[in-house]
Amino acid sequence: MNFNKIVKEILGSILSLCEFTLNNESRGVIEYEHKLLLISITYDFTRSFELDVNFYFKANNESYSLAELKEYFDKEKNRFIATQILEDDKLKAWVVEVKMFLENHLYELIKDHVVICFELDSMRKQKTDFYNNERDERLFKEDVEKLWNNKDYVRLIKLVKNYKGNIDDISKKKYEYAIKKVS
Amino acid sequence: MSIVGALGGYLKHFQFKSAVFNSSRYLAKCKDCAAMFPGVSGTWLDPVYINGQRTLATGAVQPSYFFEELVLGNGIGKLASGIVGMIKRVGFAAKGSTQGGLNLFKFGKPTTTTANSWRAGDRMLHLPNKGTPKLNWKQNSGFLRQEMSRGKPIFDSYLSPNGQQIPTGGFLNAERFLLESRGWRFNSATGAYHPPF
């Protein structure tokens, strides 16, 4: 796949128009730099075949993915969908989509970069908290259930005592029962 | 002599206490690295994957030192450059004092490509391309399960500054799911998954 060639052909002109210069290039990674931003287009060509665009803001030294920016600008909720492509035609279509996104938002991205990276950061914090809390709660319940089924009350007590998140009613009842059984 | 044979012979020359190549075709952990590299703390060689084609794969995407540098730096000698070129150095980050391990990664992310905070032993799965995502996942998940069987913490390199996992899709999400479905639990304090209790 001619990833580097296709990306440069399709995105080179718009990025150059907005004063980005080709900063770095290696197989599967093309990086364009602006005084305020770095945009890298990546292709994991030896493993997952995932494509992404990373927007690195110099103002806060943070990088956000295309999915996060699409969520911010277009309210698209596709954070968990990875784009995996093997064929040149599909790659071209994807890069054209990226080009359209840049045509619609790059100017604003540069002009309001401080506000945008602040809001992206806050959005990421919110999403990250939700993701981590949801995972912790789900796995905690699974672990309680497993120990309960194994009648491993000592470990169940220890698990519940050490857990820092919200404990659901069923887990609480199992915990109370386990204490009675052990004492 | 094959590459594997040449390397095996070379390493055996230094009388490793453990077997050089174990049954999983990994380079077995060197238990006497301290003796091998006096004055260098946190050095290790484990694991370098040697694939079915009898070539060497690695290991770390962003090595801090190449094996050759350590060898030369300690006056032990020099491996054939063809071999050394393929053994990307696994670990030995000069700054870190904490032991690292396998790192799950997201291709092209700064958290993956920035080597500042790498610790001794940090590495990533870097396997031969099988041609499709499906085949690569099959291979990748197989090796991840193999790593899980070792029972060592498995680090996640796609984290926010406070150590929380950044939500994502694709291979990394599937790797996280695989670990969690086998009872491994992520700890934001260590930035790693730990084996089931």
Confidence of residue A125 (pLDDT cuts 50, 70, 90): very high
What is the pLDDT at residue B64? 30
A75 in the same domain as A150: no
Q: Is residue A118 part of a domain?
A: no
Q: Is ipTM > 0.95 here? A: no
Confidence of residue B5 (pLDDT cuts 50, 70, 90): very low
Name the residue range of residue A69's domain: 3-111
* Helix and strand numbers, DSSP H then E, in chain A: 6, 6
A153 in the same domain as A97: no
pLDDT cut 90: percent of chain A above it: 85
DSSP codes, A94-161: HHHHHHHHHHHHHHHHHHTHHHHHHHHHHHHHHHHHHHHHHHHHHHHHHHHHHHHHTT-HHHHHHHHH
Cβ neighbours, 10 Å, residue B102: 22
Domains of chain A: total: 2
Closest partner residue to A49 (CB to CB) among B110, B133, B168 is B133
Output DSSP code: residue B95: S
Output DSSP code: residue A22: E
Answer yes or no: do B108 and A135 touch at CB < 8 A.
no
A86 in the same domain as A26: yes
CA A42/CA B110 separation, integer angstroms: 12
A103 in the same domain as A33: yes
Cβ neighbours, 10 Å, residue A18: 17
- List of residues 6+ apart from B182 with CB closer than 8 A: B145, B148, B196
- Contact list in B for residue A128 (CB cut-off 8 A) is 160, 164-167
The average pLDDT across A103-132 equals: 95
Residue B17 in this model has a pLDDT that exceeds 70: no
Residue B173 in this model has a pLDDT that exceeds 80: yes
Which of A61-70, A95-104, B81-90, B160-169 shows the highest mean pLDDT? A95-104
The residue in chain B having the minimum alpha-carbon distance to the alpha carbon of residue A158 is B197
A29 in the same domain as A71: yes
Residue B186 in this model has a pLDDT that exceeds 50: yes
| Best mutation target, B106, B141, B144, to test chain A (most A CBs within 10 A) | B106
Between A15-24, A98-107, B28-37, the lowest mean confidence (pLDDT) is in B28-37
The average pLDDT across B138-163 equals: 93
Confidence of residue A78 (pLDDT cuts 50, 70, 90): low
Q: Is residue A119 part of a domain?
A: no
Answer yes or no: do B169 and A82 touch at CB < 8 A.
yes
The residue in chain B having the minimum alpha-carbon distance to the alpha carbon of residue A131 is B167
Q: Is residue A122 part of a domain?
A: no
CB B136 within 8 A of CB B129: yes
A145 in the same domain as A106: no
A15 in the same domain as A98: yes
Closest partner residue to A79 (CB to CB) among B127, B167, B171 is B167
Closest partner residue to B171 (CB to CB) among A40, A48, A124 is A48
Closest CA to B165 of A43, A177, A128, A41: A128
Closest partner residue to A79 (CB to CB) among B140, B169, B185 is B169
CB of A129 within 8 Å of any CB in chain B? yes
Residue B83 in this model has a pLDDT that exceeds 90: no
What is the pLDDT at residue A79? 64
CA dihedral B114, B116, B120, B122 (to 10 degrees): -20
Residue A45 in this model has a pLDDT that exceeds 60: yes
Answer yes or no: do B137 and A132 touch at CB < 8 A.
no
Name the residue range of residue B141's domain: 3-194
CA A71/CA A172 separation, integer angstroms: 37
Residue A171 in this model has a pLDDT that exceeds 50: yes
Residue B40 in this model has a pLDDT that exceeds 60: no
Residue after which a domain boundary falls, among A111, A145, A171: A111
The average pLDDT across B63-74 equals: 32
A171 in the same domain as A106: no
CB of A139 within 8 Å of any CB in chain B? yes
Q: Is residue A60 part of a domain?
A: yes
Q: Token pair 């784009």 is at which residue? A: A83
Domains of chain B: total: 1
Closest CA to A11 of A56, A53, A63: A53
State the nearest Cα–Cα gap between B144 and chain A, in angstroms: 14
Cα-Cα end-to-end distance for chain B: 45
* Helix and strand numbers, DSSP H then E, in chain B: 7, 4
